[in-house]
Amino acid sequence: MEIITRQANANRAAEHWALNYADDLGLSNDPFLIGPGEDTDSPAGIHKRLVALGPTPKPADIDNIIGNKSWTTGQLQCDECKRPAKATVEIGGQVHEDQQSSTLCVRCIRKALALLEATL
Ligand SMILES: [Zn+2]
C-alpha cells in the first residue's frame, strides 16, 4: 500500500525510467553512462538528466525533461470513480509494478469504509 502524489512520482521517476529502459538499451555494465557529445535525448541521456535533479525533483522539471506529464501524473486517477486526484493510494501491489493493484482516491476509500463498517 503506497500513497501516490505528483511529488512521489517525481521522486521515483529516475528509478522507474532506468527500470523501463534498461533492457531496451541492450548495453553492458552501465547502460546509463553517456559521454560528452552523445545524445542527451536518448534514454540514457534522459536518465542522466533525471538523476541530476536529485532525490526530490520538482515534478515540472521531470515533465520538461521527459516531454510530457505521464511520469508524474501516473496513477493519479481513481480506478473506482475514474476521476483525477491529487493523491491516491495503491492497494494490492507495489507502485507501478503490479497489474493486479487498484489505485483509489480518498472519496472512494471513505465510501468503501462506510460500506464495510455498515456490514460489521
Ligand atoms: Zn475515487
pLDDT tens track for 7-47: 999 999 999 888 888 765 554 445 555 555 567 778 888 88
d(CA 47, CA 28): 16
Between the CA of 34 and the centroid of ligand 1 the distance, in Å, is: 42
Collapsed DSSP state (helix, strand, coil) of residue 119: helix
Specify the pTM.
Answer: 0.79
The domain total for the chain is: 1
Asked if residue 40 lies in contact with residue 46, where contact means CB atoms within 8 angstroms, the answer is yes
Asked if residue 88 lies in contact with residue 104, where contact means CB atoms within 8 angstroms, the answer is yes
Q: Which single residue is written with the C-alpha cell 460500506? A: 115
N- to C-terminal Cα separation, the chain: 23
Residues 6+ apart with CB under 8 A from 105: 78, 80, 81, 83, 85, 87, 88
Between the CA of 80 and the centroid of ligand 1 the distance, in Å, is: 5
Residue 77: φ, ψ to 5°: -125, 135
Which domain covers residue 53, as residue numbers? 2-119
Between the CA of 50 and the centroid of ligand 1 the distance, in Å, is: 31
Between the CA of 120 and the centroid of ligand 1 the distance, in Å, is: 23
pLDDT digit string (tens) for 54-109? 999 999 999 999 999 999 998 899 999 999 999 999 998 765 565 688 999 999 99
